[in-house]
Amino acid sequence: MLVRDILSTKQIGKIISVTTFDTVSSAAELLSEMRIGAVIVRDKGNEMDGILSERDIVREIGRRGVGCMSDSVSALMTTNVKSCTSTDTTQAVMQMMTDGRFRHLPVMDDGKLLGVISIGDVVAARIKEVQFENESMADLIAGNI
């Protein structure tokens, strides 16, 4: 299965983002309200300046306390963001996320941000893939094919 198949199950064009100037507190409120684990950071257009995750916020609270909540998003966001393309496979992105120890991955094609997938999205897609393979194998063994 390809990343584009995962994106097709999500709301296309609905990329939740904040700016580098927003406060960490307002970004955390957005994460909570939208029930998501990460938000894209961009100041203009489809250019991605970074990503801010729940982990980024919790890690900084652990270091400095809640005073970091009044910081700008730019202070906590990850700027060296890994991304994938819509033609990458679920196996490839799962490996990338595991190796990099991150749970959210922007999808970029030709420099354009198409969406964000989570490890949950990838695992759900992989489960569907394995179920289909199992059903196909069972049909083959039973002589239904």
**What are the tens digits of pLDDT across the range 6-33?**
998 886 668 899 999 999 999 999 999 9
Rounded to the nearest 10 degrees, what angle do helices 90-100 and 119-142 cross at? 140
CA distance 140 to 52: 46
CATH 3.30.70.3000 fits 3-142, yes or no: no
Q: How far apart are CA 18 and CA 102, in angstroms?
A: 19
Instruction: Kindly state the greatest CA–CA separation across the chain.
Output: 65
107-127 pLDDT per residue, tens: 999 988 999 999 999 999 989
User: Of 71, 93, 85, which Cα lies nearest the Cα of 18?
Assistant: 71
Q: Where are the domains of the chain?
A: 3-142
**Residue 3 tokens, joined:** 């990343």
Which pTM was predicted? 0.84
Pairing of strands 38-41, 17-18: parallel
Distance between CA atoms of residues 33 and 49, nearest Å: 22
